[in-house]
Amino acid sequence: MFREIFKNELTVKLFVIVSLLAFFVFSAFLILNIEKGDNTNDEAEEDMNVKYYLNEDYNHKDPYTTKVPNLEDMLRGPIISELDPVLGDINSSVMLVIFTDFECEYCKKQEKIVKELVEDDNVSLMWKDYPANDIDSRSFKAAIAARCAQKEGAFWEYHDELYKSNLSDESFLQIARDLNFDMDDFEDCLVSSEAKQSVVDNIIEADALGIVGIPYMYINDQEVFGETSKEELLQLINIEKEKVKQ
């Protein structure tokens, strides 16, 4: 029912990126445990505006190991950081994280429902790119364009217009003009490695989490696949709110 995204074998460059990202996650986790202790991780993570959902049974006891941790083994939920677009407060008690794509009609429908839930002050929405793994596809190019809009501070406005457009090179530029972007900066961004890397990082994260189809959502670390009704999402959100109270 939902568009499947098939994963291509990572190139040597992507393998290096995965290793570095895994090492960063592993190191950050160790530092938080050493300095604050396991019971105060949440406070430290809030100060940094970053949160990791790690597998509880992951063996991280040896800080001197030379083996780079496998990201797939470590993560049990999405990485929450200010690198990705957020609608609402990143420190809200419930974060809805959606792995999605601008060519996915089901994603568009699901987002419309999700956005209504973000009106609650204790709920926020984070966007994660999971386009077709082809840098020349309209899907991937749209993701890059939206990341460039993020640099302009207008991700969500640009995001809304992308879902209305035909996803062409010209439409990417026209939307930017309509939103009064600095066109020189925007066009430079479209061909930069920085915007592309933001998209690639999300794909790597999705692959590590075992995501193969979209829309794919997390409510904190609880997984939700495919179209889900507002009522069902509200039930899951309320469960997460109750966890915070305990």
- 216: domain CATH number is 3.40.30.10
Q: Which residue type, as a one-letter code, is found at position 168?
A: S
Q: pLDDT > 90: what percent of the chain?
A: 61
Q: Work out the average pLDDT over 129-138.
A: 95
* 157 pLDDT higher than 70: yes
* 64 pLDDT higher than 80: no
**pLDDT in the model for residue 50:** 76
Q: pLDDT > 70: what percent of the chain?
A: 71
In a domain, 222, yes or no: yes
**pLDDT in the model for residue 185:** 97
Residue bearing the bigger pLDDT, 229 or 11: 229
In a domain, 45, yes or no: yes
Residue bearing the bigger pLDDT, 2 or 157: 157
Write down the pTM of the prediction.
Answer: 0.74
* 130 pLDDT higher than 60: yes
Range of the domain at 20: 12-245
**pLDDT in the model for residue 54:** 64
In a domain, 90, yes or no: yes
Number of domain units in the chain: 1
In a domain, 7, yes or no: no
In a domain, 6, yes or no: no
User: What tokens were used for 139?
Assistant: 């899907």
In a domain, 87, yes or no: yes
* 1 pLDDT higher than 60: no
d(CA 86, CA 80): 10
Going from the C-alpha of 92 to that of each of 9, 24, 38, 220, the distances in angstroms are 36, 24, 21, 10
* 59 pLDDT higher than 90: no
**pLDDT confidence band for 230 (50 / 70 / 90):** very high
**pLDDT in the model for residue 32:** 41
**pLDDT in the model for residue 100:** 96
3-state secondary structure string, the chain? CCCECCCCCCCHHHHHHHHHHHHHHHHHHHHHHHHHCHHHHHHHHHHHCEECCECCCCCCCCCCCCCCCCHHHHECCCCEECCCCEECCCCCCEEEEEEECCCCHHHHHHHHHHHHHCCCCCEEEEEEECCCCCCCCHHHHHHHHHHHHHHCCCHHHHHHHHCCCCCCHHHHHHHHHHCCCCHHHHHHHHCCHHHHHHHHHHHHHHHHCCCCECCEEEECCEEEECCCCHHHHHHHHHHHHHHHHC
Q: What phi and psi values does residue 176 have, to the nearest 5 degrees?
A: -65, -40
* 103 pLDDT higher than 80: yes
What are residue 86's DSSP bridge partners? 126
59-68, 101-110, 131-140, 195-204: which range is least confident on average?
A: 59-68
* 160 pLDDT higher than 60: yes
**pLDDT in the model for residue 27:** 46
**pLDDT confidence band for 218 (50 / 70 / 90):** very high
**pLDDT confidence band for 96 (50 / 70 / 90):** very high
- 28-42 confidence digits (pLDDT tens): 443 344 343 344 344
**pLDDT in the model for residue 35:** 40
In a domain, 5, yes or no: no
In a domain, 73, yes or no: yes
